[in-house]
Amino acid sequence: MKKEGRIFFSGIVTIILFIVYAVCLAAATFLEKYWGTEAAFGMIYYALWFFLLQFLGIVHLIGVIIYRGLWHKERWSMLMVHGALMIILCGALVSHTFGKEGTIYLREGDITNYMVVHTSKGEAYHLLPFRIELKDFILTRYLGSSSPSSFESRLMIYVDGEIKEAWVYMNNVLDIKGYRLFQASFDRDEKGTVLTVNKDAVGRNITYTGYFLLFGGLIAGLFSSKSRFGQLRRKLFLIIVGSCQLIFLPDAFGKEMVVSPMMNAVSKYAPDVGHAERFGSLPVQSTAGRTMPVNTLASELLRKVHRSDHIGSLSPDQFLLGLMVMPEMWMRVQFIALPSKSHLHEVFHLSEPYCTYVEVFDDEGNYKLQRYLEEAYSKAPAERNRFDKDLIRFDERIQTLHQLFQRRLIRLFPHEDDTWYAAGDDLSKFSVADSTFITGIVTWYVEEIRAALHSGEWQKCDEILGMIKAYQQARSSNLTLLSRKLDAELLYNSLNPFKDVRKTYLITGLLLLVVSLIAMFYTQCRFINVVIRILTIVICIAFTYHLGGMALRGYIAGNAPWSNAYETMVFAAAATMGAGLYFCRRNTLIFALSTLFAGTILFVSGLNWLDPQINPLVPVLKSPWLMFHVSVIMAAYGFFGLCTLASLAWLLLRPFISPYRNEDLATINEMSLHIGLVLMTIGTFLGAIWANESWGRYWGWDPKETWALITIVSYAALLHLRFIPGFRHPRLFHILTILAFTTVLMTYFGVNYYLSGMHSYQ
């Protein structure tokens, strides 16, 4: 029996369980995509065999604790980790078996004492030990926008003979008699609310206890001298580490623009740079309700329509002014980008890769795209093919230009309720005097610019800008408070910090890589050491500038600067650079590779498909958990990236460098893997706590959650390979490390752009 136990609780069985579990989870996400959520839950997540698989995992964990002697004080951190995993799984089982979850739907004035529970057999009703009445539902939007800033329910609670007033809104939970109420959704007419109700005090407490022990055990393992990480740390310290004109990359936005005679004409009659900058400093309100400089709006519009941050020799401000002043000329400029690799130019007979505005209309003035657009929008989003999606994106660019030509997009004029309007909007809310002023001053301004283009005298145009600014200050109640943020945003736009940092990382990283390779063969060269120190100083300065740019963006946005795909890419570059700095004194080669990788990430963040626009947060992201959850996850990605770089370096350089240096790379790889796994695990379960505090479910098998768990399982399997004698070969470890990084790529990119789920707001 003892022999059978050793076999069942061996390292090879651990790896098999890891692989089977990860494969099942991955299969479930694709099953959900093609067959629906019910199929994924019925066939895998809630299937009896999957529960048995997880139960087998618990039994295996108990056996590992016994047979591996994890109860000894030298290994107590690992005992905490393995014990915590059992507790978490037990908590999940208790929640699934005994927890109650349902919804309450209320219209204003309605009273109810039950919730609707959805089961595999249909709907059931669960009686509540209290009554609840919706007195009022309040939806707050961002000023001048239809985007929700918050939505909340004002409730009256009738419980134990008392009447209590309570508020429920996103990230604010109401606890009553063991039940927790969460704001989930609302009716379109804003007179009804949908609340999620959850009763799971026992399961939640068990699970949270497991989380606490898991976090403690993982962190303790990084600092314990008896742990594997402690051994690696000592080993690395004992290893003796061997004691131009800048290259500007082409702009990250793709294709060369066709220079046409009409483009030459609009460039020749471009507005004065100085005046365009003054125009760009005016505040304007976006359609999302954010007040920002015109310069930011101009940059966003140019990126949307032209897929670039500049057009010819014109700045974004000059481009926007040109559209206002010379719309007829701009309608004939080839600058509207067609989606890459689309067939739109063939179907609609358009110039490619850029077309003109007039090309999308036929000789009779009919919109060529109309019939195809109606067909595309009639389909469900999941049924749209590549042509439909390209067509919709292209139409959005045309509609943006149409609004600009109609003077309906540059919202310069605030109403007293702090909703801003453009000159071409419906101005019926304004007084007659104000509406006359708005339409008149814009027309006057355009005429004066046209005159200045010929005379070169811009003083009158500057005076009109002063009048517009005076009107804004007189009508907007919060413009004075926003002035510092507007100035900060203008500074951010002019600095464009991440573009400069990207170039610095790529150039210095490449130089440092070359010097590091030379240093491996000339260990006593003093000149090489001096060059390495200079490059290290430059990289540290660039990293500080990188962090400063993130801080400035966070100040402008009013929240942590990692709330969308672009910002998380920028943070991932910072995390990678931070991971490289952690090992810079131990291994210059790894430091050089991490610098190059950080530059590459920033390069990718500047590509067309990532939008750098600063937008207001959706209600669920207005939580302090955003800062903790996302920052820890992205830091983990940085260390996983460093693992991959170390493995690539080991595989490519092994024949050319000494065994000493190969061992150095292997040690750094495993240390990075430990740190990344700790951060990934903590970050994932911090997200689970956030989810539980937001909508009452700490784990719902959302594809993003599931692939984060697959990433954890994959890297945990890598760490357990050393317990299998036949799998301890370094080459295998490094190859598998590179393969494991595909789970990171799937978690970050694949889920966001291929699968769907609750994380789609990212």
Instruction: Report whether pLDDT(248) > 60.
Output: no
> For 140-169, how does the pLDDT look when each residue is reduced to its tens digit (9 = 90+)?
876 656 667 778 899 999 998 899 999 888
CA gap 419, 290 in Å, rounded: 10
pLDDT for 518-568, tens place per residue? 887 666 677 888 898 999 999 999 999 999 999 999 999 888 787 777 888
Residue 566 burial (CB count, 10 A): 21
- Residue 24: CB atoms within 10 Å: 16
pLDDT of amino acid 224: 77
User: Which CA distances in Å does 631 have to 220, 560, 594, 601?
Assistant: 20, 9, 18, 16
- Of 5-19, 343-357, 408-422, 464-478, which gets the smallest average pLDDT? 5-19
Give the model's confidence band at 6: pLDDT under 50 very low, under 70 low, under 90 confident, else very high. low
The 10s digit of each residue's pLDDT in 464-493 is 999 999 999 988 877 877 888 899 999 999
Nearest to 761 by CA among 245, 214, 170: 170
Do residues 344 and 391 touch, judged by C-beta distance below 8 A?
yes
Residue 70 has pLDDT above 80, yes or no: no
Would you say residue 682 has pLDDT above 70? yes
pLDDT digits (tens, 9 = 90+) for 190-236: 899 999 898 888 888 899 899 999 988 888 888 777 777 777 777 66
Share of the chain above pLDDT 70, in %: 90
CA distances from 362 to 317, 366, 369, 401, 428 (A): 31, 5, 10, 17, 34
* Residue 709 pLDDT grade (very low, low, confident, very high; cuts 50, 70, 90): very high
Whether the CB-CB separation of 537 and 561 falls below 8 Å is answered with: no
Q: What is the pLDDT of residues 84-98, one digit of tens each?
A: 988 998 988 898 888
Within 8 A by CB and 6+ apart from 8, the residues are 60, 63
pLDDT score at 340:
81
Which pLDDT value is given to residue 247? 37
CA 84, CA 211: separation in Å to the nearest integer?
7
CA distance 465 to 18: 65
Amino acid identity, position 68: R
Please answer whether residues 320 and 295 qualify as being in contact, where contact means their C-beta atoms are separated by less than 8 angstroms. no
pLDDT digits (tens, 9 = 90+) for 410-453: 999 998 888 899 999 999 999 999 999 999 999 999 999 999 99
- What is residue 23's predicted lDDT score, i.e. its pLDDT? 95
Sign of CA dihedral 371, 372, 373, 379: positive
Give the span between the Cα atoms of 644 and 733, in whole angstroms.
Answer: 11
Helix runs in 185-253, H state only: 201-223, 228-238
Task: Determine how β-strand 179-186 pairs with β-strand 174-176.
Answer: antiparallel
pLDDT band per the 50, 70, 90 thresholds, residue 759: low
Question: Quick one: average pLDDT of 7-24?
Answer: 86
- Look at residue 660 in the predicted model and tell me its pLDDT: 64
Which of 173-187, 393-407, 627-641 reaches the highest mean pLDDT? 393-407
- pLDDT at res. 142: 67
Q: Report helix, strand or coil for 190.
A: coil
Q: Poorest-confidence range of 163-177, 247-261, 352-366, 712-726?
A: 247-261
Give yes or no for residue 309 having a pLDDT over 90.
Answer: no
Token reading at 724: 């299998």
Extract the runs of DSSP E, i.e. beta strands, from 479-623. none
Q: How many CB atoms lie within 10 A of CB 267?
A: 16
Please give the residue that has the higher pLDDT: either 266 or 242.
Answer: 266
> Can you tell me the distance from the alpha carbon of 418 to that of 661, in angstroms, rounded to the nearest whole number?
63
**298/742 Cα distance (integer angstroms):** 37
Task: Count Cβ atoms below 10 Å from residue 610 Cβ, excluding itself.
Answer: 17
Percentage, residues of the chain above pLDDT 90: 41
Tell me which of 745 and 151 has the higher pLDDT.
745
Please give the mean pLDDT across all residues of the chain.
85
Residue 146, pLDDT score: 65
Q: How much is the average pLDDT of 58-76?
A: 75
Evaluate whether 426 touches 414 at the Cβ level (below 8 Å): no
Q: What is the model's pLDDT at position 514?
A: 86
Predicted confidence (pLDDT) at residue 254 exceeds the cutoff of 50: no
pLDDT of 372 over the 50 cut: yes
Q: What is the 3-class SS of 638-677, one letter each residue?
A: HHHHHHHHHHHHHHHHCCCCCHHHHHHHHHHHHHHHHHHH
Please give the full DSSP string across 269-333, using - where no structure is assigned: TPPPHHHHHHHHTSEEE-TTS-EEEHHHHHHHHHHHHHSSS-BTTB-HHHHHHHHHH-HHHHTTS
Q: For residue 550, how many other CB atoms are within 10 A of its CB?
A: 20
pLDDT at 312 over 90: no
Mean pLDDT in residue range 112-122? 81
Q: Band the pLDDT of 1: cuts 50, 70, 90.
A: very low
